[in-house]
Amino acid sequence: MSPTEVTAEHNPLRDSRDLRLPHIAGPCSLVIFGVTGDLARKKLMPAVYDLSNRGLLPPGFALTGFARRDWDDQDFTQVVHDAVKQYARTPFREEAWQQLAEGIRFVQGSFDDEAAFEELARTVHELDEQRGTRGNHAFYLSVPPSAFPTVCRQLARSGLSKPQHATDETQPWRRVVIEKPFGHDLASARELNDVVSEVFDQPSVFRIDHYLGKETVLNLLALRFANQMYEPIWNNHYVDHVQITMAEDIGIGGRAGYYDGIGAARDVIQNHLLQLLALTAMEEPASFAADDLVAEKIKVLSACRLPEDLAAHTARGQYAAGSQAGEQVKGYLDEDGTAPDSTTETYAAIRVDIDNRRWAGVPFYLRAGKRLGRRVTEIAVVFKSAPHLPFDSSETSDLGNNAIVIRVQPDEGVTIRFGAKVPGTAMEVRDVTMDFGYGHAFTQSSPEAYERLILSVLLGEPPLFPRHEEVELSWRILDPITAHWAAEGQPEPYRAGTWGPGSADEMLARDGRVWRRP
C-alpha cells in the first residue's frame, strides 16, 4: 500500500464533494490598530470571538491590539472579554474564550513612535514562535484615514509589511485591511491608494465595505443569477426605474468631527449605494471569482452617466430640529461640533443613468440621509405598468406599478408587489405584497457582515472587497455633483423624522415618478 501524496496544492483530506468540512483559516494573526474605537469594540472583537467560537479560526490564532493606552496584555484581554460578552452573537463559552485569550497581546504606542513599532514587530515575531502563526499576519487599520500614511510607513520601516523567511514550500503573507472612507474625492482617493500600495501590493489590500458582507447583498446575486424568473424582466423592456435607499433614523451623534464637511453623498452614496447599484445592474459574471465579479462591476460603473442638469436631477437637505418618533431632536446645525453655517448635506438624492443596452432609459435614483422616517436600506426595482389593462379604469384605480423590493436591512428579505382581485362581486384590483423574510426561511443566526469579511481576509478570498478601480470610478461619478452643490450654498432644511426635503420629491416629480415610502 502506498499512501496518498500530500502537496501544497493537494490535501487528500479535502475533497470537493465533502461539503461539510469547515473552511478553517490557516495559521495567522490579526493586528488591530485603533482598538479603543467603537468599531473595534462593538464589531471587530465580537466578530473575532464568534469566528473562534464557530471553530473557523486556526488553533493558534493570535489577536494583537495597538493603541496609545497604558495597558498590558491583561488589561487588553479584559477589554476584549467585556466587548465579547456584550456584543458577540454566539453564546459565551468559557473554553472557547480561554482558547482565544491565550493569543491576545497588546502593544502600547502612538503611530509616530518608532520604538512602539519595533515592539510590535518583536511581538508578532514572538507569536510565530509561541503560537505557530508561521509569519502570516493581517493588519486591520481601524483608524482615521489621515493616519494611514503614518501607519503604513511605520509598518514598512519596521519590516512588518513584508514577510521574511519565504521558502519554496511556504510563502507567508501580510495583508492590510482598510475601512471607508477611501478619500473624499478622486484626487484624495488616488493619494491614499498611492500611500497604501507603496507598502502593500494590490492583492494584499482589503478595502472593507461592510455592506458587501451582508447576507442580503449576496442574496441579490443568488436572486438574479440562480433563478430563471427574474433575469428576463431585469431590463429596460420591463423596468421603469430603480430606487436605492439608505435611510438612517439617527443623527450624526458624536461624529461631527468626521461628518461635517463630508456629508451624506460622500459618506454613503459613493461606497454603499454605488456598490448596490453595480450589483443590481451588472451583467452576469463569468464566475464568482474576484476578478470576474470586479470586471462586471467596473463595466457597469464605467457606463454610469449623470444628468446634464444637476440642479433638476439631484437634491440635498439638512435636518432641522423636530420630533422624531416622539422624541425631541436637535437640528444638524445645533449638534455639538458642527459649524453654525455648515453647508454639509445630511440628505442626498441623485439620479444616475446607465448607458448600455440593458438599462438605457431606466433611471437609477439613489438617496441617503440621516434623521429620516425609519432605519431602512433597500433596493426597489419598479416595473412599468402593463401595456393594456382589460379592466375599467375605475376598477384598477388602486393598482400601482409592480415592484420587487430587496430589503438589505433591517428585516432582510424580498417583497414582490403585484395586483390582486379584491374579494367581492366587483372586479376590483388592488396592490398586494408577497413577502420572503430571510429570518423566516433560514437561520436567524446568520453571521455578521464583519465575521464573513474578517474570515475572507484571513483566508485570502477577495471577492467581497471593492478594488481601487471601483473606488476611483465611484468618485468620478460623484465628484461633479459635490462640486455643483459646493457652489449652491445652504442645503434645504427638512424636518427630522420625515423622508427628506421637498426638493427631493420635486426631483422625482419632474420625471413623473414618486419616491417609495420604505
Partner 1 sequence: MIIDLPATTTTAVAKKLIKLRQEGGAVTLGRVLTLVIVTDTSSTTEAIDAANVASREHPCRIIVLATGSTEKGIDAEIRIGGDAGASEVIILTAPAEALVHADTLVMPLLLPDAPIVAWWPREAPANPGADVIGAMAHRRITDSYRSADPRASIRRLAEAYRPGDTDLAWTRTTIWRGLLASTLDQPPFEPVLRATVAGQDDHSSLDLLAAWLGEELDCEVDVVRTPGAQAVTSVTLTRASGDITLARPSGKVAILSQPQQPDHRIALPVRQLHECIAEELRRLDEDEMYGEVLTQGLRRVAS
Which residues are documented as binding site? 68, 180, 210, 214, 248, 267, 370
Classify burial at 197, counting beta carbons within 10 Å of its beta carbon; exposed 0-12, middle 13-18, buried 19 or more.
Answer: middle
Provide the edge-to-edge strand list for the sheet that holds 62-67.
104-108, 62-67, 29-33, 137-141, 174-179, 205-208
Catalytic machinery residues: 272
Q: Which is nearer to partner 1, 251 or 413 (CB)?
A: 413
Q: Which is nearer to partner 1, 216 or 314 (CB)?
A: 216
- Determine, following the binding rule CB under 8 A, whether residue 328 of this chain makes contact with partner 1: no
CA proximity to 272, closest of 144, 188, 182: 182
Show the binding pattern over residues 147-176: x = contacts partner 1 (CB under 8 A), - = does not.
Answer: ----------------------xx------
Q: Which stretch binds partner 1 (CB under 8 A): 39-47, 57-65, 137-145, 314-322?
A: 57-65
Q: Which stretch binds partner 1 (CB under 8 A): 137-145, 335-343, 352-360, 435-443?
A: 435-443
User: ∠ CA(449), CA(454), CA(455), 5° rounding?
Assistant: 100
- Determine, following the binding rule CB under 8 A, whether residue 131 of this chain makes contact with partner 1: yes
DSSP 167-188: -SS----EEEEEES---SSHHH
Q: Which of 436, 461, 511, 513 binds partner 1 (CB under 8 A)?
A: 436
Q: Which of 41, 134, 241, 367 binds partner 1 (CB under 8 A)?
A: 134
Helices (H) and strands (E) in the chain, counts: 17, 18
Cα–Cα distances (Å) from 132 to 102, 471, 513, in that order, read 13, 36, 60
Q: Which is nearer to partner 1, 4 or 394 (CB)?
A: 4
Q: What residues between 216 and 255 interact with partner 1 by CB under 8 A? A: none
- Determine, following the binding rule CB under 8 A, whether residue 91 of this chain makes contact with partner 1: no
Q: What residues between 1 and 40 interact with partner 1 by CB under 8 A? A: 1-8, 11-15, 17-22, 24, 26-27
Do residues 91 and 492 make contact, with C-beta atoms less than 8 angstroms apart?
no
- Determine, following the binding rule CB under 8 A, whether residue 517 of this chain makes contact with partner 1: no
Q: Which of 68, 69, 85, 93 binds partner 1 (CB under 8 A)?
A: 93
Q: Which of 33, 47, 51, 58 binds partner 1 (CB under 8 A)?
A: 58
- Determine, following the binding rule CB under 8 A, whether residue 90 of this chain makes contact with partner 1: no
Q: Which of 38, 72, 102, 334 binds partner 1 (CB under 8 A)?
A: 102
For 290, the grid coordinates are 474576484
DSSP annotation of 386: P
Q: Which is nearer to partner 1, 11 or 74 (CB)?
A: 11
Q: Which stretch binds partner 1 (CB under 8 A): 139-147, 191-199, 432-440, 504-512?
A: 432-440
Q: Which is nearer to partner 1, 3 or 512 (CB)?
A: 3
Q: How far apart are CA 205 and CA 6, in angstroms?
A: 31
Give the end-to-end CA distance of the chain in Å, rounded to a whole number: 66
Q: How far apart are CA 100 and CA 160, in angstroms?
A: 23
CA proximity to 90, closest of 449, 439, 446: 446
Do residues 75 and 82 make contact, with C-beta atoms less than 8 angstroms apart?
no
CB of 82 to partner 1, least distance (A): 20
Which residues participate in the annotated binding site for substrate? Answer: 210, 214, 248, 267, 370
Q: How far apart are CA 61 and CA 96, in angstroms?
A: 12
Q: Which of 166, 442, 480, 502 binds partner 1 (CB under 8 A)?
A: 442
Q: How far apart are CA 451 and CA 460, in angstroms?
A: 14
The count of chain residues that interact with partner 1, using the rule CB under 8 A, is 48
CB of 11 to partner 1, least distance (A): 5
347-354/304-305 β-pairing? antiparallel
CB of 167 to partner 1, least distance (A): 8
Q: Which is nearer to partner 1, 96 or 303 (CB)?
A: 96
Residue type, 99: Q
Do residues 369 and 493 make contact, with C-beta atoms less than 8 angstroms apart?
no
Q: Which of 164, 393, 425, 444 binds partner 1 (CB under 8 A)?
A: 444
Q: Which residues here bind partner 1, judged by CB under 8 A?
A: 1-8, 11-15, 17-22, 24, 26-27, 53, 55, 58-60, 93, 95-96, 98-99, 102, 129-132, 134, 169-170, 436-437, 440-445
